[in-house]
Structure 1
Amino acid sequence: MKNRNYGSYEVPPTLKELIRLKDELGGQEPFYTGLNFYLELGAMRYFNTPCDVVVFGTTGGDGIHYGFLTDFGMAEDLEHATVVCVSPMDFDGPTKIIANDIKEFLSIVLTDEELFYNTFATEEDYRAAKQRWREEEEASPYRPSEEKVQQKNDIIRLVKERISLPYIENPYQHLEDLAQQRQERVAAKTQDLLGVIGNFGEGEIHVPYYVHKDESLDIEELRRYMSTAPAVSKLAMVRDLQQNFVLWHDGQIRDIVVDALNSLNLKNEEKRIYEHDL
């Protein structure tokens, strides 16, 4: 089950169990009925999917997809890697940390997946939205049939029987805590709020280099920055460039990113730069 999406990583045990479940259920549609997402086992990527994310699922709408954040190869394995949601149409903030690992992700996706790709000012706003959606569904002529509801419940029961899922008492607060904890861990902040985990060498400091999609870049200045910056700063720049530019349309910027990744021996991430759906 090796592909370029996974690079040097093995498919994690929990994901293997989900693949078996999908096959037993008869394919992607019944799997989606129970778990609210489709498995994505190919190389699906958008221009702003971080190059250190291994995609494993999609909602099937607006390009929204889920993946393991490897932190540029620092994750020991994917079973325990942080999970993110990428909403590619949310250009200013496409990537969001949503779980500490895939089991946490499953625990939340079964009940509160709307938290992954929506933004709410407060927990009260979220609860009000859930109540409104529930009422709209109950009033809709297209609401799920009793048979569909039973099928969903049966699949959820199967998942919980086969995979030991943690109990997340308050999913809204849990995601808020994850975002805060991430910011406390990063060595360099980035525009996508993922930041970069790592350490600076003796005497190294992070000097941010500002980029914005609506402003032109001085290519030679950027090249000099990337050739001399510490590793952590290079990776922060990679994140910001992916956030702001469509790299397969900007060959000069893409080449600078690829050179930086190669200089750090990040072959998996370099290969993903060249892969995209949209």
Structure 2
Amino acid sequence: MKPGSEFNYGSLSTLIQELIDFEQELEENRHSLDFDLGLIMERGRGIRYMSTPPDVIPFARAGVDGLQYGFLTDFGAIADPAQAPVVCVSPMHWNGVWLVARNLHEFLSIVYTDNSPLTHYYEHTDAYLHDLARRQAPVYDERRQMVRELFRTRFGIHPIEDMVRYIKDLRMTRRRSIAVQTLNGLGIVPLSSEQRAHTPFSLPDMLLWDQDSRRIQEFFLNASVESRLAFVRDAQTKHLFTDSLLRAFVTSQLRAMGLSEAADHLDESYYTVVMES
């Protein structure tokens, strides 16, 4: 997939377009989905950061700190984004990405209820509660409240009644669904019928293809599908794909695994770097 082509949002295409239409209607009436709810829809193709996982399809931005939201397709395990969890991608955060919602509909409920779990990574729910306790009560704004209510009724939003419970359940469900843990916490879900045990690859903070290529090639030859994809997640978290030779090898391996779209997405994350430099 070359830069500039469009993502296929599957059965969510209509809802995504309705959100874009709603955003445009607000702007025509001097309101803002961004200012009032902290959401900017991608109109066309969004950029990919070095921290955007290759199995994430971006669909919106937060408007602050470069944060973007996308559907996590788990390397093709989820064919329709309507069934995909939503993640926040942060080019400034240490691990680059975190899970924020089970699906788009629940994501919109969080946007309406309290979007701070979308724009902040709370390592523990106590941190969220501490942040909540420190906030000042919002000043009532009639115009903003009107936009929020339009959003709620237009998209059938149901507020999240217990955000702490939601965050806990979301993370617990994800932990139970993965076969292999990764540095960024997303993990790798079971993708093959292979019975091979997970083989971890110890990634250094610095990797030199000239020195480590044989070890990496042997690993990809012998490791399970899940172990190889865990390598991809962890290498991205450690920003090792700035090594073009390593990236070229890994994208070729992804294509050999039938994951050409993920390979294209990984390369695309670095087209942006080249074009902006």
Report the TM-score range of the alignment, normalised by the length of the smaller protein: 0.7 to 0.9
**Deviation at residue 104 of structure 1 after TM alignment:** 0.4
The one-letter amino acid paired with 2:115 is E
The one-letter amino acid paired with 2:166 is H
Q: Distance in 2 between matches of 1:25 and 1:44?
A: 24
Q: TM-score, normalised by structure 1?
A: 0.85
Q: Distance in 1 between matches of 2:46 and 2:146?
A: 30
Residue 56 in structure 1 maps to residue 59 in structure 2:
yes
Q: Which residue in 1 is equivalent to 2:198?
A: 206
SS of match in other structure, 1:12: helix
**Deviation at residue 187 of structure 1 after TM alignment:** 1.2
Residue pairs, 1:1-278, within 5 angstroms: 4=5, 6=7, 9=10, 11-26=12-27, 30-41=32-43, 42-91=45-94, 93-120=95-122, 123=125, 125-134=127-136, 149-214=141-206, 216=208, 218-247=212-241, 249-276=242-269, 277-278=272-273
Q: Deviations over 1:170-226 (max 9, x none)?
A: 112211221121111111111111111124434422111111324656122112211
Q: Distance in 1 between matches of 2:223 and 2:174?
A: 23
**Deviation at residue 56 of structure 1 after TM alignment:** 1.1
After superposition, the Cα gap between the structure-2 partners of 1:245 and 1:110, relative to the gap in structure 1 and judged at 3 Å, is same
Q: TM-score, normalised by structure 2?
A: 0.85
RMSD of Structure 2 on Structure 1 (CA): 2.6
Q: Which runs of 5+ in 1 are unaligned?
A: 139-145
Q: Is the 8 A contact 1:5 1:55 kept in 2?
A: no
Q: Which residue in 2 is equivalent to 1:141?
A: none
Q: Between the two proteins, what is the percent identity of the paired residues?
A: 28
After superposition, the Cα gap between the structure-2 partners of 1:115 and 1:267, relative to the gap in structure 1 and judged at 3 Å, is same
The one-letter amino acid paired with 1:25 is L
After superposition, the Cα gap between the structure-2 partners of 1:8 and 1:165, relative to the gap in structure 1 and judged at 3 Å, is closer
**Deviation at residue 128 of structure 1 after TM alignment:** 4.2
Q: Which runs of 5+ in 2 are unaligned?
A: none
Greater mean deviation of Cα atoms: 43-52 or 117-126: 117-126
After superposition, the Cα gap between the structure-2 partners of 1:121 and 1:73, relative to the gap in structure 1 and judged at 3 Å, is closer
Q: Distance in 2 between matches of 1:38 and 1:270?
A: 27
SS of match in other structure, 2:63: coil
**Deviation at residue 117 of structure 1 after TM alignment:** 3.2
SS of match in other structure, 1:67: strand
Q: Is the 8 A contact 1:110 1:156 kept in 2?
A: yes
After superposition, the Cα gap between the structure-2 partners of 1:34 and 1:117, relative to the gap in structure 1 and judged at 3 Å, is closer
Greater mean deviation of Cα atoms: 155-164 or 125-134: 125-134
Q: Is the 8 A contact 1:43 1:55 kept in 2?
A: yes
Q: Distance in 1 between matches of 2:180 and 2:18?
A: 36
**Deviation at residue 239 of structure 1 after TM alignment:** 0.9
Figure out how many residues of one structure are paired with residues of the other and give that number.
Answer: 265
